[in-house]
Structure 1
């Protein structure tokens, strides 16, 4: 009897824990998803309070020999919330913030890539810019480099990851195009790592000039930006560039939610690279994206004439970015002193 009673208590503890976790998850879902329709934080708080109260009451019933009633009430309410949650679908038709107002798309014909809606903003402040969305043509036969940028805004463990491709026609200065997987904010929204767990943001893929997408981070937002040259065979560079174009087109056809852990600026890039270079190991630094450069370095993929600390110091572009004159070549200036990976066949 004592053993049976022990297991009953254990099961109730487990059930209580799962029910409380469900209450917490549903609170997050309700809070972030109702933000647009229920503007008042007090009203949302009241709704969450009712849900928490009912959830705790169901847990109470579980321990008062009325488990069936508690589980039934809880199960019906949670099923309703889950059905509502499943009905929330991503969309491409919202009132978007200006910097993600347009969607990138492209076509690939042989070596020629035609891109639509490449961003080339001229930023005056962190939130104000002259908007320019442009069509661009790129020749994959001229693709000669891949660089990884990491931009830090909340400590060493978290960074935004960007990938920049360099094109050299042998005449003009090298052209660069940077891809960035970002949240697609609505006009009234701000980034929230917690909201990213609860379908608050759609996913956006931006292609932009470095003077736009790197400069706004280093010069306007005050983020710490690092730029690393990545060693990659030219065939892999080409495949990765096309993978970005394919992802952009796919997001137009089927919009997708951003997810803080599983569909973000690092994990999506990793998935694309892993499809090109099979066997890449999983690593905790893919989640703690601030340490992604160390992960890439551990694979032997960074230009490496020195130890990593020296490479990282040279990769810090903020001082160089702020010193660039308006009429100077921004991309060349920020690469001064950055170790460059040799061009591979």
Structure 2
């Protein structure tokens, strides 16, 4: 490895003590009677979660678990990139880079590490933190620029001639850019979402299934898309409160999971209270919520400035549509990637790697070992 140093998560005790003080001194706003999750994050649920956070959640235990796999910091084109690097046990393990999104982190993939590194059909897993997230440098750059960093990380820092890539949410955009820009190096890609109609498509070119998908997406943006508009236009305004109050940070992250959902569904999506809180803690202890949301602004500026859209990729792509994810049709995916596999999954949602890790790991292995 080149320009790479070992890393361990080690949060100082004063940071943990300060967190507890802030949680204990929260000024609760109150909520409309009977509103539940319809106005945003439920205060009654959040109060319960904060009690758990204060009295039961054990950060030091979670910190030990975060450190159970090898982690490193690489200097990639002058940007410090944090990543987990776990070698597969098979003789011909495939290098696979997994990219998270927002509001999750590299922690999104921790449950699938054992499944994907064991056995003959295994992978060398590279799981980085996007710059501006977690333990990487606190800088906000575009998704396409992240793809450029990943290509350098994989080929120059780690020495792979070719590699595979998978991602969802922001990680989807990064992975799609990798496939489009570096088809000679990226051997295969996998997605759980593939982008959304934003009103720029010619309806005459769309199938009936695509039109129905576009209508669903439009309705979703009206009811649930406020976070993205805020991030893309006023990320600094929201950052002050989120960086200062752990309860505000938790509320904002939870509100994205699914307004109107039951607490059981929300916790299932993250894999339980501990996993939910550990993801939040990664943002809190590194103070990276500001740069993470600022990435939306960076991408928006690139789009508004007339950046050329990426060309359709000819790299073999696998797509898994989970039932609690936006149900995009195959022909929509074919606009952007060369679809080698398109599967409708029976369970799971936006954070499938956390919610149904066995299902997700099996899907990745079966696809990537089917194309080469």
The TM-score, its normalising length taken from structure 1, stands at 0.27
- Ranked by relative contact order (alpha carbons within 8 Å, sequence separation 6 or more), the top structure is 2
Going by fraction, where is helix more abundant, 1 or 2? 2
Structure exhibiting the larger radius of gyration computed from Cα positions? 1
The TM-score, its normalising length taken from structure 2, stands at 0.25
Going by fraction, where is strand more abundant, 1 or 2? 1
